[in-house]
Amino acid sequence: MTLLKPETDQVQARFPPKLGRKRDHTRDPKILDAALEVLAETGYDGMTIDMVASRAKAGKATLYRRWPSKAELVIDAVACMKKNMHGDEPLPDTGTLRGDLVAMIKPHSIEDSERKMQIMAGLMSMISQAPELADAANAAIMEPRAALNRQLMYRAVERGEISSACDIESIAMISPCMVTYRTLMLRKPVDREFLVSLIDGVILPSLGLSAKPSAS
């Protein structure tokens, strides 16, 4: 992204060959997926290009034909995570904020979260040296979840359930942050029980709601 070598590939892009085989771009996602897999398992520095190539059943040269370096491959893989995400299911609408937040706890979203945490751990060492990677990781891993929380909360404001004076921008980040900490540092499972206790013990109180609104 930053440093594109002015090499063969770019020249060929300007003067496309008239004959012969065209580049098979259907293999790109497979390679990027393999990169994310290896990244999650071994971390950036433990990851080798050969691992990614063999995992994707591709040749090492093929990878270097598409990305100028290991770093660029990883940045691209993380940046593409966002696009390649499974079609967002519609937001839950249970009528109460607590109901909505709890409804977002699904086995699928927990698995998805665990995988992302692994990837993030593998990236951290490189993040402090590549700001663009930090942005990509934030956009692909932390932001999507925070954005969902924000939407639910703003809807609760419109309903009059919570005050518009609440610091929703910050509060929406609580669960992503705490989940990250719990996974990476504490190495404890992020299960339904933990998430519910976060909702009832921290998030709802900070919005001025009691945990169990027995009446409406």
**Smallest distance from a second copy to CB 162, Å:** 10
3-class DSSP state for residue 109?
Answer: helix
State how far the Cα of 25 lies from the Cα of 33, in Å rounded to an integer.
14
User: Binding residue for a second copy (CB under 8 A) from 48, 164, 184, 192?
Assistant: 184
- Of 210, 104, 110, 96, which is closest to residue 153 (Cα–Cα)? 96
- List b or e across 66-100, with b for residues whose CB sees 16 or more CB atoms inside 10 angstroms: bbbebbebbbbbbbbbeeeeeeeeeeeeeebbbeb
Encoded tokens for 113: 């979260």
Residue 196 binds a second copy (CB under 8 A):
no
Residue 195 binds a second copy (CB under 8 A):
no
Residue 109 binds DNA (CB under 7 A):
no
Amino acid at position 165, single letter: A
Out of a second copy, DNA, none, what residue 101 binds, judged by CB under 5 to 8 A for its kind, is none
- Distance, C-alpha 204 to centroid of its chain: 25
Out of a second copy, DNA, none, what residue 186 binds, judged by CB under 5 to 8 A for its kind, is a second copy
**Closer of 126 and 195 to DNA (Cβ):** 126
**Smallest distance from a second copy to CB 144, Å:** 13
Residue 61 binds DNA (CB under 7 A):
yes
Helical packing angle, 70-83 and 107-127, nearest 10°: 150
Residues 6+ apart with CB under 8 A from 117: 141, 179, 180, 183, 184
**Smallest distance from DNA to CB 121, Å:** 17
Which residues contact DNA (rule: CB under 7 A)?
12, 17-24, 27, 46-50, 53-54, 57-62, 64-65, 69-71
Which residues contact a second copy (rule: CB under 8 A)?
43-46, 118, 121-122, 124-129, 131, 134, 137-138, 142, 166-167, 170-171, 173-174, 176-178, 180-181, 184-187, 197-198, 200-203, 205-208
